[in-house]
Amino acid sequence: MMTRCAGSLLCLLLVVGLLLTGSPFLSAQTPEHLKDFDISPLRQGEFLLLSKKPAEALKIFTDLWQREPDNSYAVRSMVRSYKALSQLPQAASLLQSTRASDSKSSAAAYGLGYVLYLQNRFEESKNLLNEALQADPDNALALNNLGAVLVELKQYDEALRWVKSAIDIVPGEMMFYRNLQMIYVQSGNPDGFEKEYRRFLSEGPPSKAKKYGLVLAQRLRQASFRLYAEGQIDETLSTIVDMLAVYREIKHKPGIVASLFSLAVLYEEQGDTGRALQKYREVIKINPQHIQAREKMHQLKPGK
C-alpha cells in the first residue's frame, strides 16, 4: 500500500499541498538564481532555511534586522536559523544585548520570548512577550506567540483571545489561522474553528472566511493523505469531497481544480473510468489549459 501511495496520489497530494498552502518556492533554485528576481530578503532567507542552509539564512536575517530594528519577522526567522544550527543560547545572548541597549525594543523582547518558548521556559517566555506588547501593542507575532505559550500553560481561552487579536492586526497571515485551529483542537473543542468559519462564511467578511477555509481544506488534505496511506479508499474519497466543498464555498479556484483532479486520479486508480472522465472534464471546464487532465482524458477515451 505504501509503495502505491508513494507513486501516485501521495505525490499528487504533496504537490497540491505546496500549491495551496503558499509555499514561496516549488522547485530548487540557487541563491544566485534568486538574485535575478525581485524577491525580498525575508523570502530569500526562508528559501535558504528550506534548503537546509541555516548559516546563510542567518546572515540574511541578521543583516535585515540591523537595517530594520522593528522587523519582528526578521527576528523570528533569525531565531529559527539559530535553532536549526542548535545555537539558541547564542540567539538569546544577542537579543539580550540588544535589549540592554534598547529597553523599548519590542522586536528584541519578542525574539527573546520566542527563544524561551522554544526552550520550554513558558512562564519566562510569557513575561517577555508581554513586555514586547507593552512596547508595541500591535506586534502581531508577539500576540500569536503569546497564544502558543498560553496553550502550553493550558490557558486556552486567553490563548484564543490573543491569537484572534493577532489576526485582527494582520488578517492575511495564514500562520495565525493555523495556530488558532490548533488551539481549538488542544482545548478539546475541535469543531470550534469550523463553527467560526461557518459564521464568517455567512456574515463576513469574506476575506476572513477564506483564510479559515484554506486552513480547513489543508487539514482535510492531510487527513486524505493519511487515510489513503492506510488503504481506506472510501474514507479518502469522502474527505476529498469535503475538501472540494470547502474550496467551492470560498471560491478558491486552484483548490477546486486540484481537488477535482485528485478525485479523478483516485477514481482512475479504482478502475472507475466513468467517474474519472467526469472529474477530468470538470477540471478542463474550469481550466482549459490543464495539460495533465487533457492527457488523462485522451488516455481514458472510450475505444482506445
Q: What is the pLDDT of residues 10-45, one digit of tens each?
A: 455 544 554 444 433 333 333 444 444 568 999 999
Assign 43 to helix, strand or coil.
Answer: helix
pLDDT at 204 over 70: yes
Q: What residue type is 281 in one-letter code?
A: R
pTM of this structure: 0.85
Residue with cell 542567518: 58
Give the Å distances, CA to CA, from 24 to 90, 252, 286: 28, 18, 24
Q: What is the pLDDT of residues 227-259, one digit of tens each?
A: 999 999 999 999 999 999 999 999 999 999 999
CATH code for residues 1-21+191-304: 1.25.40.10
Instruction: Say what the pLDDT of residue 18 is.
Output: 44
pLDDT at 49 over 60: yes
Q: What is the C-alpha separation between 154 and 23, in angstroms, rounded?
A: 31
- Of 37-46, 61-70, 145-154, 158-167, the one with minimum mean pLDDT is 37-46
Q: Which three cell numbers stand for residue 152?
A: 502550553
CA angle 80, 125, 184 (to 5 degrees): 85
Is there a shared CATH topology between the 1-21+191-304 domain and the 39-170 domain? yes
Provide mean pLDDT across the span 98-120. Answer: 95
Strands (E) in the chain, as ranges, are none
Kindly list the domain boundaries of the chain, sorted by start residue.
Answer: 1-21+191-304, 39-170
Q: Which three cell numbers stand for residue 271?
A: 478502475
Residue 281 belongs to what H/E stretch?
helix 273-286
Q: What percent of the chain has pLDDT over 90?
A: 81
Contact 282, 263 (CB under 8 A): no
Q: What is the C-alpha separation between 117 and 46, in angstroms, rounded?
A: 21
Does the domain formed by 39-170 have CATH 3.40.50.1370?
no
